[in-house]
Chains A and B, each alone.
Chain A
Amino acid sequence: MADGILIENVVKTYGSGDTAVHALRGVDMAVAKGEVVGLIGPSGSGKSTLLKCLGAVIEPTSGRMTIGDRCIYDNGWKVRDLRALRRDLIGFIFQAPYLIPFLDVTDNVALLPMLAGKSNAVARKEARDLLGALDVGHRAAAMPSQLSGGEQQRVAIARALINRPPVILADEPTAPLDGQRALAVVGLLNDMAQQFDTAIIIVTHDEKIIPTFKRLYNIRDGRTVEEVPGASVPEVPA
């Protein structure tokens, strides 16, 4: 397995004793650099909890997580500054684009490198170059409210990629899009994963895009099962 993200026996339990809720019961996943994998499962199966653990937003109860060659969690965080970890190592794409409405397209993307300490000019140049690569360079000066849904999602992808993170976590990124646009976004993410050598995990319910994944994890009752798309049609809740 090339360096991407490796999750070993990750457990997350909310509460304790009789009222304990076991959201993750020992999740194992491995995603290589340049690879895009799907993560599916019914509501309440633990998808969002796994995403939050991977995103260093909540702390797992136990297990081990490695990004690239860096162990970030081993029964405890191995990184002191989780904000910097999220900023530098993880890109996020949300269900809705959630662009900052008061920043123009360029600054929405350039904000991350600015937060990482780059100068405004350098950050903006990088943002414009990336927006160009994602075919939204012509909307660089527009405000998010002036963009179509597809354009907004491309800008959100640019924001996730701008710091060249080794991992991108996408939480139902095609949910607001119609079939053609949804497939286009997945195609774009595949291209970007290869171009930027990034491991991408896409949480989805979207039946249209599931067959496009080469590898698929199905999470049920807090455990992941690897499935091969096309070999059997996974059960996807409405």
Chain B
Amino acid sequence: MISLAGRDILHGWGKYMLTGVGLGLLIGVTLSMAGVYRGMVDDAQALLDNSQADLWVVQKDTLGPYAEPSNLAEDSERPIQAMRGVAQAAGVTYLTMQIAHGDEDVRVMVVGAEMGAPGLPGQPTHLVAGRHIVRGHYEAVADVKSGFAIGDRVKVRRNFYTIVGLTSRMVSSGGDPMLFLSLKDAQAAQFQKDSDAILRQRARIAASPQLNPPGNPAVSQAVNAVQSENNNVNAVLVTLSPNAQPDEVAAAIRRWQRLTVYTRAQMEEILVDKLIANSARQIAMFLVILSIVSAAIVAFIIYTMTIGKIREIAVLKLIGTRDRTIAWMILQQALGLGLIGFVVGKIAASLWAPFFPKYVLLLPADSIRGFFAVMLICTLASVLAIQAALKVDPAEAIGG
């Protein structure tokens, strides 16, 4: 038996292909939306991977340092370092800000990491060019996504920093490229007050009889000194000794240091389930809407194609063609449309993904799921047309 669907498609292949391409672009958008979500999750996981930490110690009762502000004393790391099961502990600061790059602003996450010893958690990894920060001040390592090149000088707050190294895929959970500074420089960038604020602070202290007692200027000088320096960090990143159990070490730190501690699994949950949850729901809504629109378009196209062949279907039924042969013909056409649409959509999504401002991760598993979803949608969409075809009376081929 010849393929009626194949012959019909070949007969009007131009129109059929154009329809498939149109559907494919819609499927491409759908795949890209899924890719944007996957990219967000991957960015979040990259952030955790790149921090090289097993535990995140943050301000008590906060979801810091990525989902909520968190401040704790820099020297919190010392007692943590001394605890059983802890291999390394290092303070880290995070600050998302705009910095100038030529005539444009670049949104970056400024990361302050301890550079005292190589391999401390929080330090930049995946260096693709240049070197690590070796001087105490005014050097920076940037992610290539920022657009900076080695030797560029960037201004962060009041100071200039020279880019000495470039990393790859070191981004925040929002996809912003990271700019690494030494911890001291980053603390200055994050906590240092500007000159006007310092002047107002000094005037306020000088006017206070408690902070500036008559005849004892050393008190106000001491208060000024304390308020002008800041040794806070946003989190202490901890790596564990071999065989140490994350939950046990975390429980010990919570008990003895009265701080909040998150394991890798908990931090993933915070990032994926809390920080990007709204974005994920937004994307899920888009996926549902796009799927419905795709189904409606396929249903409309297949229905229109079928209605355009009512006379032929009546003739086919009159000369003895079985209903299942006609239904199979329509279903094959719908599936063919879905196949063309999927191939075009996959190619389109792969081609335009690099031009998205956010990372678009097209996973093969998502493509396979997408393929089956498209085929299912096309099958469901063909039901209406099949019903219409099966209702065609063979008598319509005979006049009267």
Q: Which residues of A contact B (CB under 8 A)?
A: 47-49, 51-52, 55, 57-58, 83-84, 86-88, 92, 94-95, 98, 100-103, 107, 110-112, 114-116, 120, 143, 159, 171-172
- The dominant DSSP class at the A interface is helix
Q: Which residues of A contact B10 (CB under 8 A)?
A: 102
Question: In the complex, A143→B4 CA distance in Å?
Answer: 14
Question: In the complex, A47→B315 CA distance in Å?
Answer: 19
Query: Which residue from B7, B320, B398 sits with its C-beta under 8 Å from A102?
Result: B7
Query: Which residue from A47, A86, A87, A102 sits with its C-beta under 8 Å from B400?
Result: A47
Contact A94 B399 (CB under 8 A): yes
- The dominant DSSP class at the B interface is helix
Contact A171 B398 (CB under 8 A): yes
Contact B318 A100 (CB under 8 A): no
Contact B11 A87 (CB under 8 A): no
Query: Which residue from B318, B321, B325 sits with its C-beta under 8 Å from A92?
Result: B318
Contact B7 A115 (CB under 8 A): no
Query: Which residue from A95, A120, A143 sits with its C-beta under 8 Å from B1?
Result: A120
Q: Which 10 A-B pairs have the closest CB atoms?
A: A48-B400, A87-B320, A102-B11, A102-B8, A57-B395, A102-B7, A83-B320, A98-B315, A86-B320, A114-B1
Nearest chain A CB to B9 CB, angstrom units:
8
Contact B398 A51 (CB under 8 A): yes
- Residues of B371-400 contacting chain A, CB below 8 A: 393-395, 397-400
Number of A-B contacts (CB under 8 A): 82
Contact A98 B322 (CB under 8 A): no
Nearest chain B CB to A49 CB, angstrom units:
7
Query: Which residue from B7, B312, B393, B400 sits with its C-beta under 8 Å from A107?
Result: B7
Contact B318 A115 (CB under 8 A): no
Known contacts: A98-B311, A120-B1. The answer to whether A55 contacts B11 by CB under 8 A is no
Q: Which residues of B contact A116 (CB under 8 A)?
A: 320
B316 at the interface (CB under 8 A from A): yes
Question: In the complex, A102→B214 CA distance in Å?
Answer: 105
Q: Which residues of A contact B14 (CB under 8 A)?
A: none
B132 at the interface (CB under 8 A from A): no
Contact B318 A51 (CB under 8 A): no
Query: Which residue from A51, A83, A84, A143 sits with its C-beta under 8 Å from B317?
Result: A83
Q: Which residues of A contact B315 (CB under 8 A)?
A: 94, 98, 100
Q: Which residues of A contact B317 (CB under 8 A)?
A: 83
Q: Which residues of A contact B400 (CB under 8 A)?
A: 47-49, 51-52, 171
Contact A100 B399 (CB under 8 A): no
Q: What are 23 A-B interface contacts by the 8 Å CB criterion?
A: A47-B400, A48-B398, A51-B398, A52-B395, A57-B318, A57-B395, A58-B395, A83-B317, A86-B319, A86-B394, A92-B398, A94-B397, A98-B312, A98-B315, A102-B7, A111-B2, A115-B319, A115-B321, A115-B322, A115-B325, A120-B1, A120-B2, A159-B319
